[in-house]
Every structure is written in C-alpha cells, then in structure tokens.
Amino acid sequence: MGRKSTIDQRSSEFRAHVFKRLRENRLTLDELRAELETQFPDEPRVSRSALGRHRASVEEMITHEREMAAAAEALVGELGEDFDAKSGALLAQAVTTLTSRYAMGKLQSQAEMDIADVLDLARAAKTAQEARSLSLKERKEVERMAREKLLEEQRAKLDAMGTKGGVTEDTKRAIREALGIA
C-alpha cells in the first residue's frame, strides 16, 4: 500500500492553495515552492518532486475534464439540441463515471481509504444523483409549460372560431372537454 503524498498530508488550506495554483498554471514549481514557504511558514517544506508528481495528477484530471466537456458538447451538437438541455445529464454521468473509476482504482491498488475518501465519494455520488434528479425535474417543467402554452393557443383558436362552417357551441364544448381546456 502506498503512503499519502506529502501534499495530501498538509492542511486543507495548504492543499486547496496548491490545487488552485496548479490549475492556474502560471507559476513554475520553484516559484510555487517559494510562495508556499511564504504563505504557509508553519507547514513543512514540500519537495519540488512532490509538487511535480502532484502537478502531473492535477493535469491528468484537468485533461479528463476538458475531454468530457468536449465530448458532451459534441454529443449534444450531434443530437441537434441546445447544449444546455442535455449537458447537465452528461455532466452527471461524467461525475458518476469518475467517482466509480476513482473508487475502483483505490480498491484495485489496495490503498487504504480513510473516512475522508469515503465521504468524498459519497458526496460526489449524491451530487451526481441530484444533478440527474434536477435535470429530470427541469424537463418535466418544460413539458408542463409547453402543454399549458399549447392548450392556451387551442383555447384562443376555438374562441376566435365563432360559428364558421356550422361549428356549434356544443361541438366546441366537446372539443374543449376532449382537449382538457373546458
């Protein structure tokens, strides 16, 4: 079993700062080390190689995020729908896939998973499920609004019809009842 990296052993503020700076990709490793020593003087020094290994894992994660975003955009474009309409469902699927992949990687490497890892996986799974649920709710709301609009248009057309072509009030009432716009 591998041990935690020296960066993962630091405080959450320290790790968050390192992650933010690595995502920004504006500093060299030496500049980042100097900044960390200045901003976190109570934390032990981090080696350049540890930062390099951590940067490689962050870059891999960013690459996967970009690939998923590009794939989601391409799929939605291919389906001919507005990008926002299906991107939530695709993002939820991507999060689910990444969470499963991470958990399987941990299990296969037989690395110890501490309670923080389990909680992170649970939060990610919950977020993915909420995204799926929200997407379904949004679609149902759009369908409801479209139905209401259609019924309003039909009601207006029936009212404007008058008695053209011998359509009686009884016939229009039957049509309204059939359409559910009585």
For residue 106, tell me if it sits in a domain.
no
pLDDT (0 to 100) of residue 168: 78
Task: Indicate if the pLDDT at residue 159 is higher than 80.
Answer: no
Q: Tell me whether residue 109 is exposed, middle or buried, using C-beta atoms within 10 angstroms of its C-beta: 0 to 12, 13 to 18, 19 or more.
A: exposed
For residue 151, tell me if it sits in a domain.
no
pLDDT (0 to 100) of residue 1: 46
pLDDT (0 to 100) of residue 83: 47
For residue 1, tell me if it sits in a domain.
yes
For residue 25, tell me if it sits in a domain.
yes
pLDDT above 90 coverage of the chain, percent: 9
Which has the higher per-residue pLDDT, 4 or 75? 4
Rounded Cα distance between 69 and 63, Å, is 10
Rounded Cα distance between 96 and 27, Å, is 32
> How many folded domains does the chain comprise?
1
For residue 10, tell me if it sits in a domain.
yes
Q: Tell me whether residue 40 is exposed, middle or buried, using C-beta atoms within 10 angstroms of its C-beta: 0 to 12, 13 to 18, 19 or more.
A: middle
Question: What is the tens place of the pLDDT at every residue in 58-101?
Answer: 888 778 777 777 776 666 665 555 545 556 666 666 666 776 77
Beta strands in 69-125 (DSSP E): none
Mean pLDDT, rounded, for 44-70: 83
Q: Are 175 and 158 in contact (CB under 8 A)?
A: yes
Domain that holds residue 45: 1-64
For residue 112, tell me if it sits in a domain.
no
Angle formed by the axes of helices 115-161 and 83-109, nearest 10°: 160
For residue 6, tell me if it sits in a domain.
yes
What is the value of pTM for the model shown? Answer: 0.43
Q: Tell me how many degrees the CA angle 57-60-61 measures, rounded to the nearest 5.
A: 90
For residue 57, tell me if it sits in a domain.
yes
